């Protein structure tokens, strides 16, 4: 049986000693009911994973000792950044969770012309971060995908670096595969529009900044599905879904 995995603050690891604080203490003590002698895996978001044997499980902190250290081997070599238009309800959170599982390295929320979702308010960004963390732990990621601040579509086109692809239902010539085979970049950006799709003006602006429209086939995918399909296809084409 595999050990439970948790991302923790790097400063909680001091040489061979680990001191865990905060809300994770409750999860270890009350939810998972772990005690002295149990083992967990902790990650400091640097790509290293540490096997830890618990020595003390208290109300305020959990202390343990590092018994092993290894580089995590589950991170894709290809860096996929998903530029996703804001979506209504919990659809954006769904994209964050499943995109993390697939192997997306970073998420950039966008405001688009046809978007109907409001900018995140209150603690929504914190909730999104927790969703990413839990998905990364469950899927055995070695690093947490970055969640960038909300940007306009124009700013996203201006600032993206690497090979930028825009799946668009009106594109019929350039496929995702052909675009990937024509450019061997190891940093790939995927632009996904809102429920109503991108406007022709947005596509024209994207092209002016070097973003390449591509087709994902004859079927129309939902806004919360297209990015996941495209990210998985990119990682497959680059060989990142194999052993």
> What pTM value is reported for the model?
0.93
* CATH number, domain with residue 31: 2.40.240.20
DSSP per-residue letters across 15-69:
TTEEEE-THHHHIIIIIS---TT-EEEEE-SSSEEEEEEEEEE-SS-EEEEEEEE
Are 99 and 193 within one domain? yes
Q: Which residues contact 12 (CB under 8 A, 6 or more apart)?
A: 18, 19, 20, 21, 42
Are 29 and 100 within one domain? no
Are 18 and 102 within one domain? no
Alpha helices for 81-192 (secondary structure H): 91-102, 124-138, 153-159, 176-182
pLDDT in tens, 3-58: 899 999 999 999 999 999 999 999 999 999 999 999 999 999 999 999 999 999 99
Q: Which two tokens stand for residue 35?
A: 């005690």
Q: What is the pLDDT of residue 224?
A: 97
Are 45 and 115 within one domain? no
Estimate the crossing angle of helix 91-102 against helix 223-237, to 10 degrees: 10
DSSP secondary structure letter of residue 163: E
pLDDT in tens, 141-190: 999 999 999 999 999 999 999 999 999 999 989 999 999 999 999 999 99
Q: What is the pLDDT of residue 150?
A: 95
Q: Which two tokens stand for residue 234?
A: 């990119």
Are 56 and 103 within one domain? no
pLDDT in tens, 181-218: 999 999 999 999 999 999 999 999 999 999 999 999 99
Q: Which two tokens stand for residue 235?
A: 């990682």
Judged against a pLDDT cut of 80, whether residue 242 lies above it is answered with no
Are 31 and 91 within one domain? no
Are 110 and 230 within one domain? yes
Are 55 and 148 within one domain? no
Beta carbons of 183 and 136 less than 8 angstroms apart: no
Are 84 and 129 within one domain? yes
Nearest to 95 by CA among 241, 231, 235, 198: 231
Angle made by CA atoms 137, 138, 140, in degrees to the nearest 5:
65
The answer as to whether 112 is a domain residue is yes
Q: What is the pLDDT of residue 118?
A: 77
Are 145 and 52 within one domain? no
The answer as to whether 94 is a domain residue is yes
Range of the domain at 17: 5-71
Are 18 and 104 within one domain? no
DSSP secondary structure letter of residue 240: T
The answer as to whether 38 is a domain residue is yes
Average pLDDT over residues 105-113: 97
How many domains does the chain contain in total? Answer: 2
What is the rounded distance in angstroms from the CA atom of residue 114 to the CA atom of residue 197?
7
């Amino acid at each position: 049986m595999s050990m439970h995995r948790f991302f923790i603050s790097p400063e909680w690891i001091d040489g061979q000693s680990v001191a865990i604080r905060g809300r994770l203490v409750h999860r270890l003590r009350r939810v998972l009911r772990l005690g002295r002698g149990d083992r967990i895996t902790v990650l400091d978001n640097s790509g290293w994973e540490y096997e830890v044997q618990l020595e003390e499980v208290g109300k305020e902190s959990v202390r343990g000792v590092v018994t092993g250290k290894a580089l995590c081997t589950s991170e894709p070599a290809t860096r996929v950044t998903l530029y996703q238009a804001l979506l209504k309800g919990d659809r954006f959170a769904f994209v964050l969770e499943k995109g993390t599982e697939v192997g997306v390295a970073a998420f950039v929320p966008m405001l688009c012309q046809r978007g109907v979702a409001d900018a995140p308010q209150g603690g929504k960004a914190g909730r999104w971060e927790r969703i990413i963390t839990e998905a990364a732990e469950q899927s055995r990621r070695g690093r947490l995908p970055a969640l960038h601040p909300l940007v306009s579509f124009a700013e996203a086109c201006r600032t993206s670096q690497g090979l930028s692809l825009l799946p668009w239902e009106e594109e019929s010539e350039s496929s995702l595969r052909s675009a990937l085979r024509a450019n061997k970049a190891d940093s790939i950006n995927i632009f996904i529009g809102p429920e109503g799709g991108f406007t022709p003006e947005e596509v024209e602006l994207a092209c002016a900044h070097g973003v390449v429209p591509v087709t994902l086939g004859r079927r129309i995918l939902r806004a919360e599905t297209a990015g996941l399909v495209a990210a998985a296809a990119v990682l497959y084409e680059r060989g990142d879904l194999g052993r």
